[in-house]
Structure 1
């Protein structure tokens, strides 16, 4: 006799109602995730003017890019600068304030000349909408991100319960791998696809949970690995209007901390932090963070804590662009999986309900016939 906790019927109901009840969350989250895997390519296709660069070499000092971006968005503050990581991509600058105080905008600059190619709302366009829907369901981030995190936990539960339902103790493992588990295409596709995609889909769900609850994730990882304190947000305390250090000198100081370093990003000092933050890429593709004091020019290389490395790995796994084309393809399949499982699972549920519905209709029809027969036997006055 199967213990109640391990009863297949209990897990089937959990699996069923999580799938049917939360499909309206999981399907759009999955499909927008597919779009975000190809975000640079989609953005280049949708807005070619942003990528109409005249060359691949970022030949201007950092101050030129910062000044061009600030001049193009009158009154806005430049909160960060990023050098292109791919050939043919522009330099980008994050802007806040000015004529659009509630919007974060991105300035696209030509690397060789520093000319502004375009300024766009981060939440606008296909990529902006996809990111807003995927990250927080287009709700305020304070609780929208948590809803997405709980959706990831529900998806992980469905993966685990699905694996439990997939196995049958009385059937050999190799027989379970056969395509024909039932007479219908939908059930065969549901079972076969569910098994082979379970591990990567579970990984995507788990990493989604960690991104949905970043503070809890940092606290949990901090229990067994060192995690550096969170860096203040770019807007924290307001940015310094006239920093003491020249931006390019800051970048040069940071590049002198190692061999073969290339600048990735530059964050100007704030009134609270009063230091520049430079992210540099090493020859191996890893990144390191360098802090430069705005007053003295003192340089500090931040050590990469083990916990921070794990946090970065979780994000890279979820984003699906940093581990080669094979993993990107797997992530794309995971993005389509909730739609496939919802459609096939719904068909399986409807087929399961069909005999019960027919039996109920037959019983109602028989009851009406019996009532009609009884009424015909009643004496007529």
Structure 2
């Protein structure tokens, strides 16, 4: 019956095995790095709070009461950091948390924290000295800027190929396919290693394939979006397109007024923060949270011309009316696993460890199958 009954005798299955073998050897280090860093970054928010507890949590006696308001908070930051531009500001995520404001001057960045009750600055983080920022850069760009990002995308594509070839190689035929579902700890360590590679590969195939595909998407989103849009509109998954008239260096309309208008546009959401214009042709974006304050996938984005206060557009991110929009939207939440609580974070981090585990067991299988025999022959020849 060919591949279904005796796949080992099918020539193209042997070709798939060679692709899987050598692809795994080449990608071994990549899988170790991406798997370990990805599992760490699932808990990015928790790690930041542990590393800088004095910045995230208010220490004032009235902690838990948000008396300060965003316009006053941003004005305080502007006075303290002259020459810096404010790029984003977030309200406290929960009672007792502080305001967080991102500023930059050229390539110098600071994350500034302000007490939610008093509005005073309590400290700042220099991301250049943060080990967590280093982990983020390693995971997304392999510490290589745009070139590293492209290499990462290529690695993700190769990982997707490994998933496909691994699924074909895993199939042992109708009589023996269930062997690949479990690990027999009573066998030799070589057999246990083989079973572990096979079982972990099977049970994590779908999530690893998803991570690989989304990894490719993050590097080259336009070709994938164009392909999906050919079959179903993805308009609801992307920010709206609009034109902001150039405003020069003129004054802004009162920020309070635009916040009130955003609350009227999204009456069932609460004000959570703002993205500030990067140029005189950019909009001011006010964030209205329909769920958790930092859950950006369930957020209303209200766009304003800061010079006139005119509302330019409203984007209900996460509310999609087509399957194409839903498909593109879910790629990001599924990859990161941020938005469904601690249990899913623990699951995602655990599954992320499958990548280094598969890399290590795969290399050991290659050693057992080939390298150990060559090593023995070489050692025997040298002893003669």
* Normalised-by-shorter TM-score class: 0.7 to 0.9
In structure 1, the residue matched to 2:165 is 161
- Deviation (angstroms), 1:78: 0.7
In structure 1, the residue matched to 2:70 is 62
Residue 270 (structure 2) aligned to one of 225, 246, 262: 262
Q: Rate the CA distance shift 1:350–1:40 in 2: closer, same or farther, 3 A.
A: same
CA distance in 1, matches of 2:65, 2:158: 46
Residue 350 (structure 1) aligned to one of 367, 370, 380: 367
Q: Rate the CA distance shift 1:115–1:125 in 2: closer, same or farther, 3 A.
A: same
Runs (4+) off by over 6 Å = 1-5, 236-240
Q: Mapping of 1:77-96 within 5 angstroms?
A: 77-96=85-104
CA contact (8 A) 2:84 2:103 kept: yes
CA-based RMSD of the aligned residues comes to 3.2
Q: Rate the CA distance shift 1:269–1:346 in 2: closer, same or farther, 3 A.
A: closer
CA distance in 1, matches of 2:341, 2:49: 20
Q: Mapping of 1:1-381 within 5 angstroms?
A: 7-53=12-58, 54=60, 55-97=63-105, 101-140=106-145, 142-180=146-184, 183=188, 184=190, 185-223=192-230, 224-227=232-235, 243-273=251-281, 275-282=283-290, 286-304=298-316, 306=322, 309-353=326-370, 356-357=373-374, 360-361=377-378, 364=381
CA distance in 2, matches of 1:201, 1:270: 36
In structure 2, the residue matched to 1:372 is none
SS of the aligned residue for 2:46 comes to helix
SS of the aligned residue for 1:263 comes to strand
TM-score in terms of structure 2 length:
0.82
Q: Rate the CA distance shift 1:121–1:362 in 2: closer, same or farther, 3 A.
A: closer
Aligned residues: 360
CA contact (8 A) 2:225 2:234 kept: no
CA contact (8 A) 1:254 1:292 kept: no
CA distance in 1, matches of 2:266, 2:240: 22
Gaps of 5+ in 2: none
CA contact (8 A) 1:257 1:301 kept: no
In structure 2, the residue matched to 1:371 is none
CA deviations over 1:289-325 (Å, ceiling 9, x no partner):
1122323322244244655554342111111111233
CA deviations over 1:132-183 (Å, ceiling 9, x no partner):
111101112x222221111111111112211111111253443442423974
CA distance in 2, matches of 1:170, 1:275: 60
CA contact (8 A) 1:243 1:269 kept: no
Q: Rate the CA distance shift 1:256–1:45 in 2: closer, same or farther, 3 A.
A: same
TM-score in terms of structure 1 length:
0.83
CA contact (8 A) 1:237 1:271 kept: no
Gaps of 5+ in 1: 369-381
CA contact (8 A) 1:200 1:330 kept: no
Q: Rate the CA distance shift 1:5–1:34 in 2: closer, same or farther, 3 A.
A: same
